[in-house]
Homo-oligomer: A and B are copies of this chain.
Amino acid sequence: MHFTSETSSNGVIERNFILDEITGVLWSPASGTVGAPLLLSGHSGGMHKKAPVVASALHCVTTYGFTVAAIDAPGHGDRPRNLQDQRWAEAIHRARAAVEPIAPIVIDYNMSLAERAVPEWQATLDALQALPEIGVDASIGYGGVNLGVVTGLMLTSVESRIAAVGFGGVYVHDALLEAARKITVPLEYRIPWDEDEIDHSSAVALFDAFASREKTLHAHPGRHNQVPEYERDSSAWFFARHLGRAADTASN
Contact = CB atoms under 8 A, between A and B. Distances in A.
Interface of A: 63, 191, 193, 200-201, 204, 207-208, 213-221, 228, 230-231, 233-234, 237-238, 241, 250-252
Given A217-B217, A230-B237, A252 B201 contact: no
Contacts of A234: 234
B219 A217 contact: yes
Nearest to A63: B252
Which residue of A207, A221, A250, A252 has the most chain B CB atoms within 10 A of its CB atom? Answer: A252
30 contacts: A63-B252, A191-B217, A193-B215, A193-B217, A201-B204, A204-B204, A207-B219, A213-B221, A214-B221, A215-B221, A216-B218, A216-B219, A216-B220, A216-B221, A216-B228, A216-B230, A216-B231, A217-B217, A217-B218, A217-B219, A218-B218, A230-B237, A230-B238, A230-B241, A233-B252, A234-B234, A237-B252, A250-B252, A251-B252, A252-B252
* 10 A-B pairs closest in CB distance: A217-B219, A252-B252, A233-B252, A216-B220, A250-B250, A218-B218, A250-B252, A214-B221, A200-B204, A215-B221
Contacts of A238: 230
A207 B215 CA distance: 19
A205 B30 CA distance: 47
Nearest to A191: B217
A230 to B, nearest CB: 6
A128 B251 CA distance: 33
A237 B208 CA distance: 27
